[in-house]
Amino acid sequence: MKIHHTARSPALENRAFLLLLLLASAAFLWVLWPLYGAIFWGAIFALMFTPPFLRFLQPMKGRRTLAALATVGVILVLVILPLALIGALLMQEASAVFRRVQSGELSFASYFHQVYNALPGWVAGLLDRFGLNNTGVIQDRLAQALSKGSQVIATQALSIGQNAFDFVVSFFVMLYLLFFLLRDGAALARRIHAAVPLEAGIKHDLAEKFVTVIRATVRGNVLVAVLQGALGGLIFWLLGIHAPVLWGTLMAFLSLLPAVGAALVWVPVAIYFLVTGAIWQGLVLIAFGVLVIGLVDNILRPVLVGKDTKMPDYVVLVSTLGGMSLFGLNGFVIGPVVAAMFMATWDLFANARKEALDASRAPEADAKKSSQKDL
């Protein structure tokens, strides 16, 4: 009895294996998606704190486990603990603002009415020309928008307490993953580098660009956000504005948007001061906002973000806005990284096309030279 072996096509086997690989990868990503935020920030912290980890390796004689534990401890003391303290203050102030809005003690409609009544005649005429003279409709819409915004801020702050278990689980998953990425990150990077089916030079350039953009984006944007939020909260506190930690935190988050961020908070407050007779408070806030808060964004952000990523400011702005609209807060990192990888891959493609074109023209050039020599 003879056994007939069916001939198999290598191309068919390769396609089947590629399909299996894609399905397995998609299923794995689907399983990890509920912990996407914890995994994302664990990887970000690992990339950001790899240099300190490498410094810890020298005095610890190459013991990677001890060095990783020491690095995680530094992150807890320098990053996590201050954030926890600020978060506690933020929750208190957000809850207080939310209660004042619900009780009617804090009424954005009345604030708008005061501002509109104090406007000069030419401004009121300009509003009439554009059909914005119906104060009732405008103040209702503005009040609804501002009240909704305040409620969203307070609700998001309170949701951490309501979903404490999920938050704690995600936090410890992030720390756990961070430890192993610091300890075994180099070996994992080598395995990924070997598995990617690209030329060695292209893989090296893409990896270098990826790490550079993430470090520059996080370091630059976070530093700018912290400085602008701290300065904004400080001036609000000095001027006696209620809930300075809340408004400073809001300015810090909004400052992730280049060029426009923190001004969305302090400009309306300055206008309110001016039109309600608090002239010196309004002038001080405008001067501080333009000369101090604004300069932090205009000077530091291009140096810390644009210089290292080598992306124009408008690309950083658009990619940040798009990333945050799709991925929330994580988008301020994801957006610029996607934009940088897009630009890097197209540069590599253009260079490869140029090299291929030069290589194809080389035989023709050699043939012309040889024919000229024969003549």
DSSP 292-360: IIHHIIIIIHIIIIIHHHT--HHHHHHHHHHHHHHHGGGHHHHHHHHHHHHHHHHHHHHHHHHHHHHHH
What's the pLDDT score for residue 2? Answer: 53
**Domain's final residue, options 146, 162, 195:** 195
Domain presence at residue 16: no
Kindly state the tokens that stand for 121. Answer: 């005649």
Question: Is there a single domain that holds both residue 240 and residue 284?
Answer: yes
What's the pLDDT score for residue 122? Answer: 63
Kindly state the tokens that stand for 182. Answer: 């610091």
Listed residue (368, 308, 370, 366) closest to 340, CA to CA:
308
How many Cβ atoms from other residues are within 10 Å of residue 2's Cβ?
Answer: 4
**Whole-angstrom distance, CA of residue 202 vs CA of residue 345:** 9
SS3 category, 10: helix
What's the pLDDT score for residue 44? Answer: 87
Domain presence at residue 367: no
Question: Is there a single domain that holds both residue 240 and residue 346?
Answer: yes
What's the pLDDT score for residue 143? Answer: 56
What's the pLDDT score for residue 299? Answer: 75
Amino acid identity of 69? L
**Whole-angstrom distance, CA of residue 371 vs CA of residue 375:** 6
Amino acid identity of 316? V
What's the pLDDT score for residue 179? Answer: 92
Q: Domain limits at 104? A: 36-195
Question: Is there a single domain that holds both residue 206 and residue 303?
Answer: yes
Q: What is the pTM of this model?
A: 0.68
| Residue the block writes with tokens 């990617």 | 196
What's the pLDDT score for residue 134? Answer: 55
**Domain's final residue, options 146, 161, 195:** 195
Q: Splitting the chain (375 residues) into consecutive groups of 10 residues, what average pLDDT does each group show?
A: 55 80 88 86 88 87 88 89 80 73 63 64 63 56 56 53 69 90 85 77 77 78 84 88 83 74 82 80 87 79 65 76 81 81 79 75 62 58
Question: Is there a single domain that holds both residue 135 and residue 207?
Answer: no
Question: Is there a single domain that holds both residue 225 and residue 262?
Answer: yes
Question: Is there a single domain that holds both residue 41 and residue 186?
Answer: yes
Question: Is there a single domain that holds both residue 41 and residue 190?
Answer: yes
What's the pLDDT score for residue 367? Answer: 61
- Is the Cβ–Cβ distance between 336 and 220 less than 8 Å? no
Question: Is there a single domain that holds both residue 108 and residue 186?
Answer: yes
How many Cβ atoms from other residues are within 10 Å of residue 53's Cβ?
Answer: 21
**Whole-angstrom distance, CA of residue 273 vs CA of residue 59:** 56
Question: Is there a single domain that holds both residue 65 and residue 185?
Answer: yes
SS3 category, 153: helix
Number of domains into which the chain is organized:
2
- Is the Cβ–Cβ distance between 220 and 313 less than 8 Å? no
